[in-house]
A and B are shown apart, each in its own frame.
Chain A
């Protein structure tokens, strides 16, 4: 079980919760279970969500393992120049 911190927009879609607990081994499973629990997340996941695991931001590596006790933070997927 990992504790996932949501940023403001997702927090609103999760009924105001800023943290949710999800049983997931990697980012792919995390997104799948979040979409099951909170269907409103699905379009956001499709648009792109970045996942910070212990401070390191992952944008595309959905196979990345979520270590036990890791700090998992969801962030908007940003543009660069």
Chain B
């Protein structure tokens, strides 16, 4: 990579403005094409048969009756997806999750699939598939799964990370530990100690658009996949490996995406659709129902967390400790590890220790959900921090300011911080009018902080200049939150042209080099870096072409505000050449003009946020109403501030749902009881106040414009901020998320005695 990503201060012309979103008209008029909006000639309808058992051995599958049904073109089981993972345990888990091989590991686990001429026939065929199950004992609760007597989900799992390798298998796949100093000594120096246990229930990302794809495998080994995803290049890699296809012969096109939030970073239906198409010899469309999305995609972990924090009378934290247990579904994950790393990241601590346990349960395989694992850890830690401030008798904001991490602080997960924004977000909250607004009876105010790492990754951008001077930008990061607009602004900034002169598209996998997933808040951070690089490469060519047109050395040509300018007194008579002037002559000065960039965007700056929340609690029913909410977050540099505000508001809205209502409810039979939006209640507009936002800009030193990721951090503080507000309103500490009315009422009644 011949590109210097270091930050350099500059005055912006396009970046920081708020043009209308380029995808807006299509989306509000229904023209935008989402996963289920695509069709291929002769396509079949795919449907998946799912296990009704939480844990069961598959003794035998008989598909013969289904295969004989008129209109059925293919029936597949795990036999049609042979193991090609070559010892890659992670890929094997993905394969097994797509189609159960020997055991059904959760209610909803795919066990067979059909492709038929229409949906009715496909549904009939599913009913004709006979499966002989041996039902096994199951476990869905994270704490119960850790018990010695718990049903064993995978007898090949021996806990990693213990000092001695265990002699017996267990449901705990890994123990991880972070921290520094001596917590025993630290607690010994404390005047006040708060110690609490917390639980959070499993939630789903709740994206409005279900998973959908259309797959077509040809006899010559080529294939096409149209799919709703956060990362079509990664889907290509995974599907090609699982199906035994060559990646370059599988063309994957990403549709518009109706929400992902981490839940569309994993393949579920796609390899199944490809396998059905391969067997049927025709394209297959597979669209998950909402019930299937809940039962068989990738929700977040359920958790059980113990926190202990000690502080001196002057408000200095002397020690902090947490034990975090996160459910991973039936396959190994690293979710508690992330929780253990993020839990105390906001604070300057001499003595800190976190221990994480990854726990297998008979639930769907856990997937990322927006700053995965951090919100639950923040809920536990920020609740205890608030309680400790109260015990000491210090204002909770002042307490956090006094202990906030800053540049040079050793983070709780290890490295020393560079310039960071936790202090400024706290100062902004302290000064915010929201903190001084009066509260009425039964109302409470809470605030909390949050941290997320942010990532970069492999990124590729093509910038093509048409002969009319218009510019197209082909990017490979799926636009989940406005990146086409922000990347157009970045290209306009570099080229010195108007935003309207540009059009950004998300290119398919055959049209552009590999791009990592749009996750880790990396879309705008990474692709803007590649866009800047591509634009600068294009400018080199534009200067060269201008030099040819003028017949002067290229070194005498500079690029200024969208024009080639000849430098020096001897060129005094030469006027400027615009990008359009140069593009118009490109056919005779060397051909098409383009700039390309392939790079690894690393050095994504960590991100912090502080939220304020006012809640009213009805003490008779336990019902809650969020009456005011404010988000303060560091963006590094807000490329398109309206989109940044939208990310802040979206994270808060999802966090409000998670904090107050959303949870997976399993019956004693291990089956999910509320697999639909009627019973799994996400917030709607009428549930939410206007969410106020304040963008802080503390430049990331590792991006030319100072950009940091903004998509995830906004969901980290809400659980804790709302829990602190509800606890203040109800007069009782809430320790179990979601704080649904029955749970709040029970806590109030228990407090009353």
Interface residue ranges, A against B (CB under 8 Å) = 5, 7-9, 12, 47, 52, 54-61, 64, 71, 73, 75-76, 78-81
Residues from 439 to 458 in B contacting A, C-beta threshold 8 Å:
453-458
With contacts A57-B604, A58-B602, A81-B372 taken as known, whether A7 is within 8 angstroms of B414 at the C-beta atoms is yes
Total interface residues in chain B, CB < 8 Å: 47
Assess the A79–B337 pair: CB atoms within 8 A: no
Assess the B455–A59 pair: CB atoms within 8 A: yes
With contacts A9-B176, A52-B414, A81-B371 taken as known, whether A57 is within 8 angstroms of B603 at the C-beta atoms is yes
Distance to closest chain B CB from A31 (angstroms): 15
With contacts A60-B458, A64-B602, A81-B368 taken as known, whether A71 is within 8 angstroms of B176 at the C-beta atoms is no
Residues from 363 to 384 in B contacting A, C-beta threshold 8 Å:
368-372
Assess the A80–B600 pair: CB atoms within 8 A: no
- Write 7 A-B pairs (CB below 8 A) sorted by A numbering: A9-B174, A47-B90, A55-B411, A55-B416, A60-B458, A75-B341, A76-B341
Q: Max chain B CB contacts within 10 Å: which of A71, A79, A80? A: A80
With contacts A7-B414, A71-B415 taken as known, whether A80 is within 8 angstroms of B161 at the C-beta atoms is no
Of B113-121, B214-222, B483-491, B515-523, which binds chain A? B515-523
Assess the A56–B603 pair: CB atoms within 8 A: yes
Q: How far is the CA of A75 from the CA of B413 in the complex (A)?
A: 8
9 A-B pairs with least C-beta separation: A80-B520, A81-B262, A52-B415, A81-B368, A8-B177, A80-B519, A81-B370, A73-B415, A60-B600
Interface bits B172-191 vs A (CB < 8 Å: 1, else 0): 00101110000000000000
Instruction: Point out the residues of chain A lying under 8 angstroms from B519, CB to CB.
Output: 79-81
Assess the A76–B176 pair: CB atoms within 8 A: yes
Distance to closest chain A CB from B476 (angstroms): 15
**When the two chains form the complex, which single residue of B176, B411, B458, B712 contacts A80, counting CB atoms closer than 8 Å?**
B712
Interface residue ranges, B against A (CB under 8 Å) = 1, 90, 160-161, 163, 174, 176-178, 205, 261-263, 265, 334, 337-338, 341, 368-372, 411, 413-418, 453-458, 519-522, 600, 602-604, 606, 702, 712
Distance to closest chain A CB from B519 (angstroms): 4
Assess the B522–A80 pair: CB atoms within 8 A: yes
Assess the A56–B702 pair: CB atoms within 8 A: yes
Instruction: Please name the residue on chain B nearest to A8 by beta carbon.
Output: B177
Q: How far is the CA of A57 from the CA of B604 in the complex (A)?
A: 7
Q: Max chain B CB contacts within 10 Å: which of A9, A60, A79? A: A79
With contacts A57-B453, A58-B603, A60-B457 taken as known, whether A78 is within 8 angstroms of B418 at the C-beta atoms is no
What is the interface of chain B mostly: helix, strand, loop, or mixed? loop
Distance to closest chain B CB from A39 (angstroms): 17
Instruction: Point out the residues of chain A lying under 8 angstroms from B457, CB to CB.
Output: 59-60
Instruction: Please name the residue on chain B nearest to A74 by beta carbon.
Output: B414
Distance to closest chain B CB from A40 (angstroms): 12
Q: How far is the CA of A65 from the CA of B52 in the complex (A)?
A: 54
Instruction: Point out the residues of chain B lying under 8 angstroms from A64, CB to CB.
Output: 602
Q: How far is the CA of A47 from the CA of B160 in the complex (A)?
A: 15
Q: How far is the CA of A9 from the CA of B368 in the complex (A)?
A: 22
Instruction: Please name the residue on chain B nearest to A60 by beta carbon.
Output: B600
Q: How far is the CA of A12 from the CA of B164 in the complex (A)?
A: 10
Distance to closest chain B CB from A7 (angstroms): 6
Assess the B602–A12 pair: CB atoms within 8 A: no
With contacts A57-B603, A57-B604, A61-B602 taken as known, whether A80 is within 8 angstroms of B455 at the C-beta atoms is yes
Instruction: Point out the residues of chain B lying under 8 angstroms from A78, CB to CB.
Output: 334, 337-338, 341, 453, 455, 520
Distance to closest chain A CB from B324 (angstroms): 14
Instruction: Point out the residues of chain B lying under 8 angstroms from A61, CB to CB.
Output: 1, 600, 602
Q: Max chain A CB contacts within 10 Å: which of B418, B455, B604? A: B455
Distance to closest chain A CB from B76 (angstroms): 29
Assess the A57–B712 pair: CB atoms within 8 A: no
**When the two chains form the complex, which single residue of B176, B334, B456 contacts A8, counting CB atoms closer than 8 Å?**
B176
Assess the B603–A8 pair: CB atoms within 8 A: no
With contacts A59-B602, A60-B458, A80-B712 taken as known, whether A8 is within 8 angstroms of B161 at the C-beta atoms is yes
With contacts A52-B415, A59-B602 taken as known, whether A79 is within 8 angstroms of B338 at the C-beta atoms is yes
